[in-house]
Structure 1
Amino acid sequence: MNDDAQARRDVNPDIKTWLDTVTIDPAVRELRPDYRALVIVAEGLRPGPSDAFSEELLAAAEASALARTGDGAAGHPHVAAWREAFRDFGAKPQRTRPSVDGLLRRVPAGLPRVDRLTDIYNAISVAHGIPLGGEDLDHYRGPAFLTRADGTESFETTAAGEAVVEHPEPGEVVWRDDAGVTCRRWNWRQCTRTRLTHDTTRAVFILDALAPLSDEALAEAGEALVAALVAGDPGVRACSRLV
């Protein structure tokens, strides 16, 4: 964000405090020293089903991705870096793709329309070629931290329409809080507990960056996300931190 100091004055103190607790385990830094996370927290969001506003953003993102690469993910240098990162901790990117890889591969057939907030961040992810996830901040338990799993952590998800608890592989890179894993394999799949819903008004958005993506390009993606959220509802207040 261009004026992070001003943005921080606009949000509630508890959000600013929470943002400052986000951490990255040194074990992840050792795995990928080039990794950076731009973490944005926002309140005053207007949730709900997909609408004309989110549709316009997704359609524009699809057009820009096709114009840039022709076939979605193929040849995208930042996507290639994420495939390499997945291999570094033992994941097979052909089976469990980095989130932006999965989205870009769906561009030719059309991106999914999920809900208003998810559509907004998916559009920014595709337009900027960067993994980007959003979660309901009110369902977090303690701070967010990126670490390498020991395999005992709980991950709440669904299988065949039923709620189940899975566990990450030992050494897997995961985002988690005090209650368990919030996102497996860095940015592959989010848990059901913190997912965005039609009731979400406070959210955390995490933008994942590796070389060759520059800090400037990462900041531009964050600014685009905040601008889209504010365009969708001028009452949105946000602040960010580069971790």
Structure 2
Amino acid sequence: MSARELTAQEFLDGAFVANDVFDLRPDYRVLLIVVEGIKGSPSNDASEKLLVQAEASAVQLLSGTAVQDLPHIASWREAYRAFGAKPQRTRNSLEALTRRAEKGLPRINALTDIYNAISVLHQVPIGGEDFDQYRGSPQLVRARGDENFDAVASGEVVMEHPEVGEVVWRDDEGVTCRRWNWRQGRRTGLSDETSTAYFIFDCLDPMTNEELTAAGDALIAALGEMDSDLTTTSRLITRD
């Protein structure tokens, strides 16, 4: 079933995290947010302001601490090792952005720029996806190894498969993000035609639920500055 046939609430109600993922990290929590009514926009003054703030924040964070020793990044490195990934080779999205922020974050489009900036500012991995491209609700599971993941390599679309036991986000059609929050797939990626976006905030200790909620609120507020007619629906999933 296409996500277009589901309301945002039905989509989120159907989302789940598998028990064997929680077994890896019982402290894992995820905030899922669907934002409807988005109008695509190139990078603009509002997104640029946030990116500049995020770049300055990263410089300050790294002034006396190595990136791998920042508390939230270190926690994700431990999580990657728990399912067999090598974090020095496949960096979680938060680490990749924080490392890049010192020299300048990418300018892609307003929607992507904003969630990248919020990720760095609040030190939480965030994924942004096109709601309408989903088949059914999202699932965070440990991979069998035969699932399809459509990616781009050297400018060409290629079909990959996750490793057995790898933590992946998926829907009814295939994997949408590999290694928890390392690499998003092409099929569900945001585009200039995206009108409903789905955001994933992955959280581990030492981040608190209050800090996680604040990050989600910051994203909603930033998007609201661009368009006041947005509708948002959210759900927090924890082991409890």
Q: Do both proteins adopt the same fold according to a TM-score greater than 0.5, normalized to the shorter chain? A: yes
- 1:137 maps to 2:131: yes
TM-score normalized by the length of structure 2? 0.93
- 1:190 maps to 2:171: no
Secondary structure of the residue that 2:69 maps to in structure 1?
coil
Q: Does the aligned pair in 2 maintain the 1:136–1:202 contact within 8 Å?
A: yes
TM-score normalized by the length of structure 1? 0.92
Aligned to 2:203: 209
d(CA) in 2 for partners of 1:60 and 1:72? Answer: 20
189-198 or 112-121: bigger deviation: 112-121
Shift of 1:69: 3.1
Q: 1:107 to 1:115 in 2, by over 3 A?
A: same
Q: 1:196 to 1:72 in 2, by over 3 A?
A: farther
Unaligned runs of 5+ in 2: none
Aligned to 1:179: 173
d(CA) in 1 for partners of 2:169 and 2:140? Answer: 4
Output one character per residue of 1:145-181: Cα deviation in whole Å (capped at 9) or x when no partner: 0000010000001111111100000000000000100
Output one character per residue of 1:198-227: Cα deviation in whole Å (capped at 9) or x when no partner: 110101100000011111110110111111
d(CA) in 1 for partners of 2:147 and 2:98? Answer: 30
Aligned to 2:60: 67
| Equivalences, count | 232
Q: Does the aligned pair in 2 maintain the 1:103–1:126 contact within 8 Å?
A: yes
d(CA) in 2 for partners of 1:184 and 1:194? Answer: 13
Q: Does the aligned pair in 2 maintain the 1:65–1:72 contact within 8 Å?
A: no
Q: Does the aligned pair in 1 maintain the 2:9–2:233 contact within 8 Å?
A: yes
Secondary structure of the residue that 2:35 maps to in structure 1?
strand
Letter of the 2:211 counterpart: A
Matches within 5 A, 1:1-243: 14-70=7-63, 73-243=67-237
Shift of 1:46: 2.1
Identity fraction in percent: 54
Aligned to 1:4: none
Q: Does the aligned pair in 2 maintain the 1:38–1:222 contact within 8 Å?
A: yes
Q: Does the aligned pair in 1 maintain the 2:58–2:102 contact within 8 Å?
A: no
d(CA) in 2 for partners of 1:55 and 1:31? Answer: 37
Q: CA RMSD in A?
A: 1.4
Q: Does the aligned pair in 2 maintain the 1:151–1:167 contact within 8 Å?
A: yes
Letter of the 2:133 counterpart: H
Q: Does the aligned pair in 2 maintain the 1:72–1:105 contact within 8 Å?
A: no
Aligned to 1:5: none
Shift of 1:74: 4.3
d(CA) in 2 for partners of 1:165 and 1:13? Answer: 27
Shift of 1:68: 3.0
Secondary structure of the residue that 2:177 maps to in structure 1?
strand
Unaligned runs of 5+ in 1: 1-11
